[in-house]
Structure 1
Amino acid sequence: MKIKATLDRIPGGMMVVPLLLAATLNTIAPDLLRIGNFTQQLFVDGAGTLIALFLLCTGAQINLRNVGVSLGKGATLLTVKWAVGAVVGLIAYMFAGDNGLWLGLAPIAVIAAMTNSNGGLYVALVGQYGDKTDRAAYSLLALNDGPFLTMVALSIFGAMGFVDGLFSFTSFISVLLPIVVGMVLGNLDEDMRDFLNKGSSMLIPFFAFALGMGINFGAILEGGLAGIVLGLLTVFVTGTAGYFVFKALKWNPIVGAAEGSTAGNAVATPAAIAAASAGFAANVDIATVQVAASTVTTAILLPLYVAFLVKRLEKKGVRLPEDYLTKESKTQAS
């Protein structure tokens, strides 16, 4: 059987196919692989560990003399994602009806879903279509985990005062540390850099499957049409904005589009916000299911949207990632 060749022919196949297969399995028979020990640790609970190892392998490819490129890309991704999500959230607040909803959406759900992104999806997509500086940009994206940036948006809108304690600096460091360890190893020893480079691509289908085991298609039904609309807004508005910003900066636009998702941890954001300000308590339940629906919708739709964008670029003769390699990446590759 030509399994790898088949997956390679599918845009994003190394990530999309395992993720959808696992999501289907988790929806139909969620306990099938939850049998403990190595099976559950690899196929169900292993996403975080596998992504951490992927980031370590990626970090080893970074030359410390060129780290500024990765930070610039990460800061751009973070800013675009937050700014677009915040603006759409502001529109939702301005035009919300008497029930506090805009087009059936809770404004707090809009901000929570659209300013947050699924790091696992980003890593998988960029691992296939980006270069080493694009992967390393993930180190800054940890800032949009949890309710921190949602709180910033709400404080700017005057909807509530800024609340301390919801962003953990320790959590940020915990995301960054594997990349730093890999970076140190790679810069101390070229042989270690070459050795760890082999691990990057191999890990993608495994953590994609584990991510899929956290997806249940039932969340789309529970969140209703409004939750699906929120997912569509997240993919097509934030993802497209990132695409064109990166294109304008002459960076790989697919990397910009790869931020158009909602992470699973965003589901807890409405409740965290309501705990800090009782004024948001009324719409917490509906906001929570809508963010959950957006998480599932974006996990399925974003890889397909990225595949469409890749095909569009390929028809124009663009090669990914070769035509968008930075000078630093070309130097490292040579």
Structure 2
Amino acid sequence: MNIKSRIDRIPGGMMILPLFLGACLNTFAPNTGKFFGSFTNGLITGTLPILSVWFFCIGASISLKATPLVLRKSGVLVTVKILTAATMGIVASWFIPHEGVSSGFFTGLSVLAIIAAMNDTNGGMYMALMQQYGTKEESGAFCLMCLESGPFMTMATLGLAGLAAFPWQTMVGALLPFLIGFALGNLDQEFRKFFGQAVPVMVPFFAFALGNNLNFAVILNTGLLGIVLGLSVIAITGFTLVVADVLLAKGNGTAGIGAASTAGAAVTVPPIIASIEPSFAPSAPAATALVATSVVVTSLLTPILTAWWARRFGVLSPRYLAAQKAAQENTEAQPLPVQPAPAE
């Protein structure tokens, strides 16, 4: 029936479709988990346990063997993305109440939604784009971008922006499964291969559980606003990342455009933050819906913009191709070194 191949045609399909099905179940049969109980209830409501396993497996899949150039490139992109999200969060906090906007077009918009959407880069899409339009080093920058997955970086960003304070135990606890997996994956390559296989498998399960915290009324009310948020992620983080890529990482800006997206994992952040800090609970459902829409918007537009940028300024631009051709011709024109005749 080719069901999976059809789902894969949807941007972020393995995340978005189960999320949608979970929202359907929660909207039309909200007590299903309690009715069946046991493992069925665990599957429907077990967001945190499923996510903790997923973070562990992501950590195990990352190799420590990265060149300094890769670390510089990824460090620049990750740092600038986080600082941009923190700055936008601070600016938004001047105008948006802590519990979010409650009326008008911006109903549901909150500082939590803005930071969660801007903070996490779609690492898988970034790596695929850089393999096609970037360099090997730019593709390898994916290694540090995985650190953005999950609530830790959003917690750090909220703290950096002075918008929330989390106990150090909570901060460490949010990162510990990732670190344990990272240690095991680097101690034994077989572990990395074994646990790495589970990363894509877990996605539809935690997405379905997340969807069971959403209601269609919230999704419909935030649909257009979510599109605006997605466009803002591309415009704002894209601008700062391109500037940083050109000035700090000595790139051509392609990597900056490729990183201007919202990761599917960002959808998990608002409910997790709300479970840790109850003051964010009122804004979490709408923030989850907004971030989910931003994931779709950036998944559709970021590849198109990255391809355009590569043709205009990057590896597919006439200037770059001419320089490559000239360098190749210069290399071929170099005379071969003359070997001295053997002494008789």
State the TM-score, normalizing by the size of structure 2. 0.64
Aligned to 1:295: 288
Counterpart code for 1:256: A
CA distance in 2, matches of 1:7, 1:108: 29
Partner of 2:270: 263
Q: Does 1:186 align with 2:179?
A: no
1:4-34 residue CA offsets vs partner (Å, 9 max, x unmatched): 1111121211111111111122111111234
> Match for residue 133 of structure 1?
143
1:305 counterpart = 2:297? yes
Partner of 1:219 in structure 2? 218
Q: 1:201 Cα shift?
A: 1.3
In the alignment, the residues of structure 2 paired with residue 229 and residue 113 of structure 1 have an alpha-carbon distance, to the nearest angstrom, of 14
Which letter maps to 1:298? V
Equivalent residue for 1:276? none
Unaligned runs of 5+ in 1: 154-162, 274-287, 324-334
Higher-Rg structure is 2
The 10-residue stretch of structure 1 (137-146 or 8-17) with the greater mean CA deviation from structure 2: 137-146
Whether contact under 8 Å (1:263, 1:295) holds in the other structure is yes
Q: Tell me: CA distance 1:246–1:151, structure 2 relative to 1, closer, same or farther (3 Å).
A: closer
Q: Partner of 2:90: helix, strand, or coil?
A: helix
Matches of residues 1-334 of structure 1 in structure 2 within 5 Å? 1-34=1-34, 35-42=36-43, 44-66=44-66, 68=71, 72-90=76-94, 92=95, 110-116=110-116, 122=120, 125-127=122-124, 130=127, 132-133=142-143, 135-138=145-148, 142-145=152-155, 148-149=158-159, 152=162, 166-219=165-218, 231=226, 234-248=229-243, 249=245, 250-251=254-255, 253-258=257-262, 263-264=270-271, 272=279, 292-299=285-292, 301-313=293-305, 316=308
CA distance in 2, matches of 1:169, 1:72: 25
CA contact (8 A) 1:71 1:137 kept: no
SS of residue paired to 2:45:
coil
Secondary structure of the residue aligned to 2:33 is coil
In the TM superposition, what is the alpha-carbon distance from 1:84 to its structure 2 partner? 1.4
Over aligned residue pairs, what C-alpha RMSD do you find?
Answer: 4.1
Alpha-carbon distance between aligned partners in 2 of 1:247 and 1:255, rounded to the nearest angstrom: 9
Aligned CA distance change for structure 1 residues 240 and 134 (closer, same or farther; 3 Å): farther
Check whether the contact 1:115–1:150 (CA below 8 A) recurs between aligned residues.
no
Deviation of the 1:179 alpha carbon = 1.3
Query: In the superposition, relative to structure 1, how do residues 268 and 14 fare at CA in structure 2: closer, same or farther (>3 Å)?
Result: closer
Distance 1:55 1:252 in 2: 25
Task: Count the aligned residue pairs.
Answer: 278
**What 5-or-longer segments of structure 2 have no aligned partner?**
128-139, 246-253, 316-344
**1:52-94 superposed Cα distances (whole Å, 9 cap, x missing partner):** 222222212223343956665443332111111222333x27x
Question: One-letter code of the match for 2:40?
Answer: T
Percent of pairs with identical residues: 26
Distance 2:306 2:217 in 1: 35
The answer to whether the 8 A contact 2:23-2:214 is kept is yes
Note if contact 1:21-1:212 (Cα within 8 Å) is conserved in structure 2: yes
User: C-alpha deviations, 1:187-232, integer Å up to 9, x for none?
Assistant: 11111111122111111111111111111123357xx6xx777655
Decide whether aligned partners of structure 1 residues 107 and 41 sit closer, same or farther in structure 2, where only a CA change above 3 A counts.
Answer: closer
Query: How far is the alpha carbon of 1:180 from its aligned partner?
Result: 0.9
Contact kept, 8 Å, 2:109 with 2:286, in 1: the verdict is no
Q: Secondary structure at the match of 1:214?
A: coil
CA distance in 1: counterparts of 2:50 and 2:287, whole angstroms: 24
Is the contact between residue 25 and residue 213 of structure 1 (CA under 8 Å) also seen in structure 2? Answer: yes
| Closer/same/farther in 2, CA of residues 36 and 16 from structure 1, 3 Å limit | same
Alpha carbons of 1:104 and 1:315: their partners in 2 closer, same or farther (altered >3 Å)? same
CA distance in 2, matches of 1:127, 1:206: 18
Q: Distance in 2 between matches of 1:170 and 1:144?
A: 16
